[in-house]
């Protein structure tokens, strides 16, 4: 009996192994080796003046990276550039990508792309048409970071060579990733952008990238969209206000005035919640509730910091400061851009579907007219290694 079982086990194992072999073999049909592809690290799209798509790719040369890495140790020597940047015009994104092969040798491989940079002109004309390719193509990673270039074309940004990282795209991605500890730029991955574009109750906000010098980029602030078109920009503080309200702040430094100087508060935890208060079947007021925890990070001044009361005072000031930033972001969204970037509409859709059906089509205008109540509850927990600033005869 046991023998028979073993025989079956062998049979099953053979079947499993052979099925795996079969399936792996079919995978080789369009197998492409590393040496036969161009690995795209960053993509930029813009519109030309006559409405065509201008696609820019940044492609990495793995061999060159190795030589730069070892070259640094040896102190120079002949170096080939680790990346190259090419642009091509086409009717659509896909058209441009394929047509570009007339000037680039090997097929462009998109799964390695880290950053997608949208041009200002494209953003003003509308981004949804150009983004279809990125949703549809199976090579594109939905985790890719999306940025809007300000005062520069995507091509100019991608062509910059930096000393910080051999691959500029990795460097740009790094600067937008570290926004978790400063919260002054909005990080948007492709997936979130696609979701927001398909949601009539929330307008997309995309991080902004600009040139900071010859060799650096700066990712600060954010671009506000309305119905797929660029409506305007948020400065770094407004961006932070927006992120506080949206509950997306992980950590940041908020400066507040204090006795004889200023204090930098390190926000270590924060959550934001938005809602709408209803009266007689209509929303009477939109509400923003933010709760945050902070530590005293730096005290530039001569005040004292001994009792809990001192901290309570600071908590109030901190709360007001954050509230001001949120108010600024809201004013911009409501009055200047008339675009519900916070997602109040989504909230209404979920909890008041009947009302939402009525206002869906011109929600952004309704949103602009509603009063907003903001409440920030700030808690200061710790003061670091010392309590008050050190001073003579303190």
Partner 1 sequence: MEKARISSIQLFLLLTGFLYGSTVIINPALGAKNDAWLAIILGGVGGALLMGVYVSIALLNPSRTLVEILRDRSGKFVGNAVSILYIWYFVHLASLVFRNFGEFMVTVTFPETPMIIVIGIFAVILVYAVNSGVEVMGRLSELFMPVVPVVVLIISLSLITTRDFTAFLPVLENGMAPVLKAAFGFITFPFGETIAFLMLFPHLNQKGNLKKIAALSALFLVVLCLVIFMRDISVLGSGLMQQATFIPHLTSLLIPGLNVEPLVDINLLIGGGTKISVCIYAAVKALSQVSGIGDYRKLTTAITTFCVVLSIWVYENVLEMLSWAEKVWPYYSIPFQMVIPLILLFLSFKKRVKPSNVRNGS
Q: How many residues bind to partner 1 according to rule CB under 8 A?
A: 30
Of 2, 3, 22, 78, which one interacts with partner 1 (CB under 8 A)? 22
51 binding partner 1? (CB under 8 A): no
Rounded CA-CA distance 168/161 in Å is 6
**Do the Cβ atoms of 42 and 116 come closer than 8 Å?**
yes
How many CB atoms sit inside 10 A of residue 37's CB? 16
Residue 18 in the binding site for partner 1 (CB under 8 A): yes
- Identify the three-state secondary structure at position 378: strand
- Nearest distance, CB of residue 220 and partner 1, angstroms: 24
How many residues would you count in the chain?
Answer: 394
Asked if 23 interacts with partner 1 (CB under 8 A), we say yes
* CA distance to 28, 101, 183, 188, 306, per residue, from 38 (Å): 19, 10, 34, 26, 61
Residues 147-166 binding partner 1 (CB under 8 A) are none
Q: According to CB under 8 A, which one of 351, 365, 381, 386 is a site residue for partner 1?
A: 351
Specify the residue, 2 or 369, whose C-beta has the smaller distance to partner 1: 2
Q: How far apart are CA 139 and CA 331, in angstroms?
A: 40
Q: Count of CB atoms within 10 A of residue 228's CB?
A: 16
**Binding string, residues 238-277; x marks residues near partner 1 by CB under 8 A:** ----------------------------------------
| Shorter beta-carbon distance to partner 1: residue 190 or 258 | 190
Neighbour count for residue 358 (Cβ, 10 Å): 13
Residue of 6, 7, 10, 12 interacting with partner 1 (CB under 8 A): 12
What is the spatial distance between Cα 299 and Cα 181, in angstroms, rounded to a whole number? Answer: 19
Return the range that interacts with partner 1 (CB under 8 A); candidates 168-176, 280-288, 314-322, 344-352: 344-352
**Contact, 60 vs 42, CB < 8 A?**
no
Q: Which helix (H) or strand (E) segment is 240 a member of?
A: helix 236-246
Minimum gap (Å) between residue 339 Cβ and partner 1:
18
CB crowding 60-69: b at 16 or more within 10 Å, else e: bbeebbeebe
Does 1 help bind partner 1 (rule: CB under 8 A)? no
Scanning 7-15, 98-106, 123-131, 302-310 for contacts with partner 1 by CB under 8 A, the matching segment is 7-15
Q: Which of 6, 10, 11, 282 binds partner 1 (CB under 8 A)?
A: 11
Provide the token pair at 286: 């939109």
Residues 180-209 that bind partner 1 (CB under 8 A): 191, 194-195, 198-199
Round to whole Å and give the CA distance between 296 and 304: 12
Question: Residue 26 Cβ, how far from partner 1 at the closest point, in Å?
Answer: 5
* Binding test (CB under 8 A) with partner 1, winner from 6, 19, 80, 273: 19
Q: Check residue 30 for interaction with partner 1 (CB under 8 A).
A: yes
The position carrying tokens 């997309």 is 204
Q: Which residues bind partner 1 (CB under 8 A)?
A: 8, 11-12, 15-16, 18-19, 22-23, 25-27, 29-30, 135, 138, 141-143, 191, 194-195, 198-199, 349-353, 356
């Amino acid at each position: 009996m046991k023998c028979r079982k073993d025989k079956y086990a062998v049979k099953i194992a053979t079947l499993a192994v052979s099925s795996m072999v079969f399936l792996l073999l079919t995978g080789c049909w369009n197998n492409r080796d590393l040496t036969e592809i161009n690995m795209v690290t960053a993509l930029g799209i813009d519109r030309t003046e006559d409405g065509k798509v201008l696609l820019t790719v940044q492609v990495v040369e793995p061999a060159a990276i190795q030589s730069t890495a070892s070259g640094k140790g040896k102190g120079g020597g002949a170096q080939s550039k680790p990346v190259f940047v090419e642009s091509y015009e086409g009717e659509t994104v896909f058209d441009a990508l394929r047509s570009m092969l007339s000037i680039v040798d090997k097929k462009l491989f998109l799964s390695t792309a880290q950053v997608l940079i949208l041009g200002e002109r494209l953003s003003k004309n509308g981004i949804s048409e150009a983004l279809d390719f990125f949703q549809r193509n199976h090579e594109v990673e939905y985790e890719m970071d999306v940025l809007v270039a300000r005062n520069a074309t995507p091509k100019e940004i991608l062509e910059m060579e930096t000393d910080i990282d051999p691959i500029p795209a990795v460097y740009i991605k790094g600067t937008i990733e570290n926004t978790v500890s400063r919260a002054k730029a909005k990080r948007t991955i492709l997936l979130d952008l696609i979701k927001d574009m398909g949601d009539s109750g929330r307008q997309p906000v995309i991080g902004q990238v600009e040139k900071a010098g010859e060799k650096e980029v700066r990712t600060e602030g954010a671009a506000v969209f309305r119905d797929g078109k660029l409506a305007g920009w948020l400065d770094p503080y407004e961006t932070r206000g927006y992120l506080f309200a949206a509950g997306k702040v992980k950590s940041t430094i908020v400066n507040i005035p204090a006795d004889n100087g200023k204090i930098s508060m390190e926000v270590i935890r924060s959550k934001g919640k938005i809602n709408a208060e209803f009266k007689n079947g209509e929303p009477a007021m939109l509400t923003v509730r933010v709760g945050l925890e902070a530590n005293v990070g730096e005290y530039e001044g001569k005040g004292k910091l001994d009792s809990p009361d001192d901290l309570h005072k600071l908590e109030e000031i901190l709360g007001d400061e954050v509230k001001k930033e949120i108010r600024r972001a809201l004013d911009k969204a409501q009055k200047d851009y008339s675009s519900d970037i916070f997602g109040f509409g989504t909230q209404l859709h979920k909890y008041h579907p009947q009302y939402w059906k009525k206002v869906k089509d011109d929600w952004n205008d309704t949103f602009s007219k509603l009063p907003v109540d903001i409440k920030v509850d700030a808690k200061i927990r710790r003061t670091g290694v010392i309590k008050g600033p050190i001073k003579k005869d303190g």
